[in-house]
Amino acid sequence: LPTRVLKFGGTSVETPAHILAVARRILAYRKAGDPIVVVVSAMGQTTDELIRLAHRVSRTPSRRELDMLVTSGERITMTLLAMCLESMGCPAISFTGSQSGIVTDTRHSNAQITSMKSFRIREELERGRVVIVAGFQGVSALKEVTTLGRGGSDTTAVALAVHLGAPVCEIFTDVPGVLTADPRIVPSARPLPGIGYGEMIAFSHLGGRVLFHRAVLLARKYGIPVEVRSSITEERGTRIHSETGAGPGAGTGHVPPARIHADSEEEPMESERILGVALESPVTWVRVRIPAGTAPPPGAEPQAPPRFLFFSRLQLPDGSSWVEFASAGDTDTGTWTQAAHWGTGSEISVQSDAALISLVGEGILSQGDIVSRSESAMQAGGIPVWGVHTGTLSLSILAPATQGEDAVRRLHAEFLE
Ligand code: ADP
Ligand code: ASP
Ligand code: MG
């Protein structure tokens, strides 16, 4: 029987009552006889609370100790769920990332999985136990505890689904799937039946945080479909799949949206689509003018770049250049937001209260009027447009953070209602 890999996020395990509900769902699935691995996140806002706690005792806690601290959040959930299942008569065992054999590199707080040695999980599945794995964590070759980046339990789930040969990775959360926008901002947002990997990577990267973009990258690499579903209701949710809908697990779930419409009268066969609107806020928006002949300052250490939402560099005929980038507010920009980073005489402008509002979808730029329609929608709402950026699957607008949510509602009304 194929193993089922189920992941329950922080909102789905927020209280003991939630954990009880998750256990009941697992019991119901177990009746079908499949071996089950469950990946859990920390309860509710635990990870944020632990990080705040660290900053109460130190202004600059080391990343190593922070990783040791925050991984304890997932350990709490895993043990409670295991105890809960056992009390219901279901044999269960919990494992940390390290015990699960998730080996990573040494980048604390943003480690990448290098290999999986999940023999302990397999042994326990063979013994008939439900295996509960603490999400978001691993261990380096030097036996240091690491974390996989915020939202990283999604990555744990996909990695285990790939490694254990599950036909699909099932992600349970507090919304009924991937919607056309965050329902907290647009209550009328609709669940999408299916999305291609590329679109979902763009959507997640630009702020649609329902799935961690690194988890989707991993799923695409191994061609495993991901299903995002409600942990409360029984709705089918959203299937993230290869662009053609082929690959392992194809045909077992949703029909790719393109096929649904293939013989519809209203929609032409070759059509662009706008899938949804994402919001990243606050965003740090930086513009730098670097004079001709400027070299990096002597002794400047190359630093890990922040997580860029976009980055561009323009060389002018006079030899001077322009750099422009935006990074998510929660990323560490290091010296990248200081003029000295770019060399003597560089002029820098840093706007740290911006929002990036993005329309995402395949072939979005083939719609010639999309920029002017977006700008008109912003103008109608009195929202200043600070900049427009395009990618192959997205069009993003920079605006003041205070008007980010309003901008999402206006773009949703213009293109998706
Ligand atoms: P979990 O605790 O299950 O990992 P997250 O908080 O990481 O959940 O992600 C779920 C949240 O993502 C939802 O509560 C919703 O507010 C937000 N979200 C943002 N954009 C979208 C979207 N396009 N579709 C669905 N949810 C979205
Ligand atoms: N608990 C971790 C976080 O809040 C990991 C996760 O939820 O996926 O980022
Ligand atoms: Mg999440």
Which of 11, 51, 150, 173 to probe ligand 2 with, by most ligand atoms within 8 A of CB?
Answer: 150
What local confidence, expressed as pLDDT, does residue 252 receive?
Answer: 40
Q: Which residues line ligand 2 (CB under 6 A)?
A: 9-10, 41-42, 47, 73, 135-136, 150-154
* Atom in ligand 2 nearest the alpha carbon of residue 10: 7
Give distance in angstroms: CA of 257 to centre of ligand 1: 21
User: Nearest to residue 10, comparing CAs of 156, 137, 153?
Assistant: 153
Q: Which residues, other chains included, contact 16 with Cβ-Cβ below 8 Å and sequence gap of 6+?
A: 80
User: Nearest to residue 235, comparing CAs of 271, 264, 192?
Assistant: 192
What local confidence, expressed as pLDDT, does residue 268 receive?
Answer: 58
What local confidence, expressed as pLDDT, does residue 55 receive?
Answer: 95
Cα gap 417→405, rounded to integer Å: 16
Which of 154, 182, 238, 360 to probe ligand 1 with, by most ligand atoms within 8 A of CB?
Answer: 182
Q: What angle do CA 344, 334, 398 make, to 5 degrees?
A: 90
Q: Which helix (H) or strand (E) holds 116?
A: strand 113-116
Give distance in angstroms: CA of 297 to centre of ligand 3: 39
For residue 39, which ligand has an atom nearest its CA?
A: 2
For residue 152, which ligand has an atom nearest its CA?
A: 2
CB-based burial label for 417 (10 Å; 0-12, 13-18, 19+) = exposed
pLDDT at position 229 over 50: yes
Question: CA–CA distance from 392 to each of 100, 297, 326 (Å)?
Answer: 38, 35, 17
Answer left, alpha or beta for residue 231, where phi above 0 means left and psi between -120 and 50 means alpha: alpha
**Mean pLDDT score of the chain:** 91
* Atom in ligand 2 nearest the alpha carbon of residue 152: 8
Cα gap 346→290, rounded to integer Å: 5
DSSP-derived pairing of the beta strands 238-241 and 194-196 = parallel
Question: CA–CA distance from 54 to each of 26, 47, 80 (Å)?
Answer: 34, 11, 24
192-223, pLDDT tens digit by residue? 999 999 999 999 999 988 999 999 999 999 99
Give distance in angstroms: CA of 9 to centre of ligand 2: 8
Which of 19, 48, 173 to probe ligand 1 with, by most ligand atoms within 8 A of CB?
Answer: 173
Lowest mean pLDDT among 6-20, 140-154, 203-217, 335-349: 335-349
- Enter the tokens of residue 311: 């980055």
* Residue, of 138 and 339, whose pLDDT is higher: 138
Give distance in angstroms: CA of 168 to centre of ligand 3: 18
CA-closest residue to ligand 2 atom 4: 47
pLDDT at position 250 over 60: no
Q: Which residues line ligand 1 (CB under 6 A)?
A: 9-12, 41, 151, 173-175, 178-179, 181-182, 184, 208-210, 276
pLDDT at position 248 over 90: no
For residue 183, which ligand has an atom nearest its CA?
A: 1
Cα gap 184→368, rounded to integer Å: 30
What local confidence, expressed as pLDDT, does residue 269 receive?
Answer: 60
Query: At 69, is the pLDDT very low, low, confident or very high (cuts 50, 70, 90)?
Result: very high
Cα gap 123→75, rounded to integer Å: 20
For residue 231, which ligand has an atom nearest its CA?
A: 1
> Percent of the chain scored above 90 by pLDDT?
80
What local confidence, expressed as pLDDT, does residue 363 receive?
Answer: 78
Give distance in angstroms: CA of 177 to centre of ligand 1: 9
Are 159 and 102 spatial neighbours (Cβ–Cβ below 8 Å)?
Answer: yes
260-284, pLDDT tens digit by residue? 444 445 555 656 689 999 999 999 9
* Residue, of 152 and 258, whose pLDDT is higher: 152
Please report the DSSP string for 170-203 in residue order. EEEESSSS-BSS-TTT-TT--B-SEEEHHHHHHH
55-64, pLDDT tens digit by residue? 999 999 999 9
* Atom in ligand 2 nearest the alpha carbon of residue 73: 1
Answer left, alpha or beta for residue 82, where phi above 0 means left and psi between -120 and 50 means alpha: alpha
State which amino acid sits at residue 363: G
| pLDDT (mean) for 159-171 | 97
Cα gap 272→262, rounded to integer Å: 13
For residue 9, which ligand has an atom nearest its CA?
A: 1
Cα gap 374→360, rounded to integer Å: 13
> Percent of the chain scored above 70 by pLDDT?
92
What local confidence, expressed as pLDDT, does residue 31 receive?
Answer: 86
What local confidence, expressed as pLDDT, does residue 251 receive?
Answer: 39
* Atom in ligand 2 nearest the alpha carbon of residue 154: 8
Question: CA–CA distance from 221 to each of 158, 224, 249, 377 (Å)?
Answer: 11, 8, 15, 37
Are 242 and 201 spatial neighbours (Cβ–Cβ below 8 Å)?
Answer: no
| pLDDT (mean) for 238-245 | 84
Residue 349, φ and ψ in degrees, nearest 5: -125, 125
Query: At 303, is the pLDDT very low, low, confident or very high (cuts 50, 70, 90)?
Result: confident
* Residue, of 367 and 69, whose pLDDT is higher: 69
Q: What is the pTM of this model?
A: 0.91
Are 253 and 227 spatial neighbours (Cβ–Cβ below 8 Å)?
Answer: yes
What local confidence, expressed as pLDDT, does residue 253 receive?
Answer: 40
pLDDT at position 255 over 80: no
User: Nearest to residue 212, comparing CAs of 147, 124, 265?
Assistant: 147
Alpha-carbon Rg for the chain, nearest whole angstrom, is 23
Paired strand residues for 138: 146
pLDDT at position 256 over 50: no
79-130, pLDDT tens digit by residue? 999 999 999 999 999 999 999 999 999 999 999 999 999 999 999 999 999 9
pLDDT at position 302 over 80: no
State which amino acid sits at residue 318: D
| pLDDT (mean) for 37-51 | 98
User: Nearest to residue 267, comparing CAs of 258, 254, 277?
Assistant: 258
DSSP-derived pairing of the beta strands 226-230 and 169-173 = parallel
DSSP-derived pairing of the beta strands 169-173 and 145-147 = unpaired
CA-closest residue to ligand 2 atom 8: 151
